[in-house]
Structure formats: structure tokens, C-alpha cells
Copies of this chain bind each other. A is one copy, B any other.
């Protein structure tokens, strides 16, 4: 599939942990495109090749959608099975999960959907006793044992085979999309190990989600399919367009939210997001969502994960508790980000403690998504949950599927206690869990924290309304017998608030929540909570969890959202500084090969400006270190007469020298004749804008046509850190 030969092989690739030059990648792609277009007129075969090339973007999207949808489905099925494996096994077929086992059973009645003879808990299977303290302790013990086994496997696999597979991966993907190179981060091994260990980590019952890692998995798929087409594999800029779309597909399968996925990629992850990518992302996200739906891992053939149907509208007065939930979400986000910087590294210990504490409480024992699903649910007639144990009012003749305005029964009070304990447990354990060296996402645990808090508040408001119909706030909308408070909606709002506090997403959060639950009517409560939570969390620190991890790791990430409002000028940032040695430059016609080699050896700059002469300092171009090294090496090997004392010419014509002189080395072809320049008086605000929007790697500084210095992306990042009173040395890579 390689249609084109690169004119200079290897010259154009970047080194690991370096930043790409977007403008250069873009112009290389235009060159390639131009070549294909002009060739396509030559023959039918070339025309077909050019059409294939034009279509390759869509093909890659289709493949990404198919593979990431399939992987997400497989992960869901495997997690489902292994989570249940901790408690018991299906006798009819050991590869069935609890739910699947009882589906296939004919002896199950609707009321006891989760009880069937084929499914046996470990104690029952091993000792024959299903009940009793002994069975409980044995089940408990085996539950912890399985959890430890899973997490041990996960942590070992990650450590041995693919260290990049740990964490959520979103901070690194953001950095990669902004133009940084991390080799192997999106490789085949990372894909394989992350998929396997993600299943293990989630099944072990640790308080982590699969959403962030699924984005990483989808991006690995994107990277994998890029290698099929030279258009994408040989151009780091084009590759990043594909990765942006892959990130959208990842979120799409994580939540069944294709539009939310596209907006997440646009708002949260991507750096360069042209409109063409928007359309392609949407396509990839849809294909992924529909592939997942065809696999149908949850067996309900719905695209939405937590489908809810509320019968009641919300009322203006409810905005108060919603906003309070927003404040809670903001505080949770702050706490999580502050303490998340010091993760506990002992995975096995955390797993053990998690399993030990989680088992006794029914709300923490089940998988987190099941918990969220139950908390979101409205109490319908068929609901057997403890949370729906209300006392029926015998005087009322309302139909049973509508349960308004009733006092809470003992089950609800019991559930409230357990939920409170679960909330404390989840808060503490989630903070300790995120950042461990296994695949771990934070969406679902954060949503769980919020959903628990929300449901508690919801039940409280509901019962308050029941017992105090005469209070002014309830008088208008909560008359006796009216169905006025939906505790499930509070859970949904709380989940959105906590997720927003941690990630600082805005539009994409609301759209994801809306797609997740299918309720357009509840956009205003969700938005109120999301805005409040973002404001509260922003008051304690501007960075979301991803930015915070990027800072922690010192990645050279130039955030599009940070506004640079300081009064500094380019001259304050450029190097050389006042007392530094002068800028390392080459002259167009008076530097020898030896001089160049010394310069390359003595410095580690990525490139050198070329000037007319040291006196005039008038800039004519910029030459990449890598190109220079390769060109000189090649010339020394292949070109006769090029010796150390040969003069390097960057001019259009080298002079005719007598044969006795060493042969000149003409290097104009590797000279970039259009380096980016700004004047020394340019405000840094403009310079930052230029770096961001054009994706520059470096920029030369001139005054009245004279070269004064250079500003690299790292200089910009350092300066920004300095201006924000952070340690400028925290920016670690080039």
C-alpha cells in the first residue's frame, strides 16, 4: 500500500519524546496529495490508486469503528463473566455469567431473575451448603482470593509486557495529539495487554472504570490501522487526525454515546480538529456504537447504558439541591485531583482491602455500573430493589406502576445507611486506586460517588416533601398524592456533577449524560450541576485531572484553553538570554564541514538558523539538525572530494572553485527557506497564539531583518509555567 517513495528516507521522522512540526507535516501531505493527483491522470491504475488513497480515511474509520466496538463488546462480556466468577459459577456452562446462566434456565420465574439452580455460589458448590455463616465466610474468602489473583495478573502483565498500558491513558493521548511523540504508547503490545489487563483490573473489583482505558484502546486501534496506509503512517499530522477520531470512537463505545464521543474528542482530547475530522469522527463513533450494539453484551439491545424513563418533570425549586450536588461534585473533583497526585502503588494491598471492605455491603459488592444503573432508576412497579421499598398507602387507588408520595419503608432506610457507608468507602478507595500501575479509568467511579450522593439527597428531599406538604417550597408543586420528586434524577445529576468536577468537561459531559440516559428533558438540571461543579472546582485550581497528570509528568503540552494574559514580549523569552553565549548559527557560504560537525557535537539543538554572514545577521533559512547530520554523513560516504575543510554552501549556486580546493558541499535542498519569524517586539500572547494555532516547533526572532534569537515550544511552555508561578523546570521533554 506504499504508493510513494520518500525523497529522503528517514530524514522526516521524528525522534522519541520530541515534538512534531505541524506546518511541515501539513505541507508534506499536500506534496504527497499533489503527486498522486498529477499521477492519477497518467493511467487507469494510478487513478484507482488515487481513489483508494482518497477513500483510505473512511476505510480507516470503518476499521477503527469495527475493531473498537468489537473489543469493547468482548471486554464487557469478559468483565461480566469474571466479576461473577468471584462469587460463583454456572454449572450448565462455566463461561456463562450469572445473568446469562439464569436466562437460559427454564426454571426461573420473573421475580427471581437472579436465582436459578444452575448458578451456584462457590460455597454451595464446594460444601453443598448455600446458607449459613460458614458458607458466607467461604464465599467471602474466595471473593477476596479471586480479586487478588486478577489484580496480581493484571499488575504483572503490565509490568512485564507493556508499562505504557497502565493508567487511563487520556493525559498521554492528549499530549500525543498535541504533537508529541511517545513511541510504543499506541503500539500493538500496549493494545493487547491493555485489553487483557483492563478486564482483569475491572473484574478484580477495584474502584476503577473502563472508559478512559477504552479511549486508549481505541486509539491503539487507530494507530494500528494507520500503519496500513502510508498516507497516515508516514505523516504524524495526518496520523493525529485519525487518532482524534479514534478517541471519539472510544468514548462512543464506553458510554454508547456517539455524539458525546465526538464532542469529548473535540472539547477534551484533540488539539487540531478540522471539520473533516469532525465528520469522520462521527462516522467512526457511530460504527463503533453499532458494532457494540450488535454484539449486545448487556442483552438489552439498547444503545444507551443506563436507560432511564422518568414520569415526572422537574421543578424550579429542585434547582437548589441540584446546585448543591454541583458544589459537592466540584469539591469531589478538587479532592480527587489534589490527593490523586500521590497514588498508592501497592496494587495487591489495595485490591485486598477493597475486596475485604466491599463484600459485606451489597452496594459495593456488585459492579459499579450495575450500582449506577440501580441508583438512576425510578421506582417502578416491577422494581424489586431495596431502594424501592416504600410503604403503600392503602387509601390510594392509583395504579401500581406509579408510586408517588409515599413514606419510605425499612428497606429504604436500610439502603440509606448502606449507601452512606458505600459513599465513604468509594471516596476513599477511589482516590487511592487511581494512578496505580494498572489500566484504570475514573469516569465510572466518579459517577458512582456522585450517584450515591445524589440518590441520598433525592430520597431526603422526597421524604421531606412527603412529611411536610405544607412547607412553602413544597406547596406549589408537591401537593399530597402528587408525584413530585424523582430520586433517580438526583442520582443522575450527582453523577454528572462529580464527573464534571474531576474532568472539567462541559458540553460533552451534558451530551454524554443525555445520551447515556436518553432524557432530553433533564438537560437543564444536568447543566446547572455541571456548571456549578466546574466553577467550584475551578476556584480551587484550574486544571482538570488530565491536565494535572500532564503537568505531573512534565509533558510539553500547550493547552489551548489557558489564556496567556501577561505583558511579556518575544525578546524576554527568546534565547540566547542576556549573558548567554551567542546563538549557534551557520553562515550561507563560509562554514566548513568541520565547523558544522563541531557545532553538531557541541550542541543538542534541534536545528540551526542560517544567515547571510555573521556581520549582517540577515536570516535566510533554518536547517534541521537531523537533516544536516544525515546529509553530511551521506556526502562524506558517497560524494568524492568532500572533506573536513570543504565549505558548506546554502546559496543557490556554489562558486566554481579550482580543482586544488576541497569540493564544496551544496546543502540548499535541506534548507527550510520559509522559517517562521516574529519580531522581538511581538507580545508573547501573540507568540503563544501562533505556536498553538500553527503547531510550531520553533520560531526565530528578528529585529529590522537581523536575527536575534530563537523561541522553541519548550521555551514557551517554560515561560508560561514561570508566569503562573510554577517551576519552569517541570517541563521535561523537547
Contact = CB atoms under 8 A, between A and B. Distances in A.
Interface of A: 23, 26-27, 30, 33-34, 37, 258-259, 262, 266-267, 274-276, 278-279, 282-283, 286, 290, 303-304, 506-507, 510-511, 515, 518, 520-521, 523-524, 527, 560-561, 563, 565, 567, 570, 612, 616, 618-621, 673-675, 677-679, 681-683, 685-686, 689-690, 693-694, 702-707
Given A283-B527, A507-B279, A679 B675 contact: yes
Contacts of A675: 679
Contacts of A560: 274-275
A704 B282 contact: no
A631 to B, nearest CB: 19
9 smallest CB-CB distances across A and B, nearest first, come from A705-B705, A673-B681, A674-B682, A618-B705, A693-B693, A618-B704, A279-B506, A674-B679, A282-B507
Task: Choose among A570, A620, A704 the residue with the greatest number of B CB atoms under 10 Å from its CB.
Answer: A704
Nearest to A510: B282
Contact of A677 (B303, B515, B677): B677
Given A275-B267, A527-B283, A681-B673, A565 B30 contact: yes
A683 B561 contact: no
A693 B693 CA distance: 6
A704 B619 CA distance: 5
A213 B279 CA distance: 26
Contacts of A33: 565
19 contacts: A23-B686, A26-B685, A30-B685, A266-B278, A275-B561, A278-B506, A279-B507, A282-B527, A283-B527, A303-B521, A518-B520, A620-B704, A674-B682, A674-B683, A674-B686, A693-B694, A694-B694, A704-B705, A705-B706
Contacts of A37: 565
A636 B686 CA distance: 34
Given A565-B34, A677-B677, A683-B674, A694 B705 contact: no
Contacts of A690: 694
Copies of this chain: 2
A507 to B, nearest CB: 5
Given A278-B507, A689-B694, A520 B267 contact: no
A303 B707 CA distance: 61
A23 B689 contact: yes
Nearest to A679: B674
A704 B685 CA distance: 26
Contacts of A677: 677, 679
B506 A282 contact: yes
Nearest to A567: B34
B612 A704 contact: yes
A278 to B, nearest CB: 6
A560 B274 CA distance: 9
Contacts of A686: 23, 26-27, 674
A444 to B, nearest CB: 22
A471 to B, nearest CB: 26
A510 B511 CA distance: 15
Nearest to A293: B521
B259 A511 contact: yes
Contacts of A705: 616, 618-619, 702, 704-707
Contacts of A510: 282
A515 B682 CA distance: 46
A560 B275 CA distance: 8
A706 B620 CA distance: 10
Nearest to A276: B561
A518 B519 CA distance: 10
Contacts of A283: 527
Contacts of A26: 685-686, 689
A283 B258 CA distance: 21
Contacts of A693: 693-694
Given A561-B275, A565-B30, A567-B34, A262 B674 contact: no
A705 B26 CA distance: 26
A142 B343 CA distance: 79
B689 A681 contact: no
A705 B616 CA distance: 10
Nearest to A279: B506
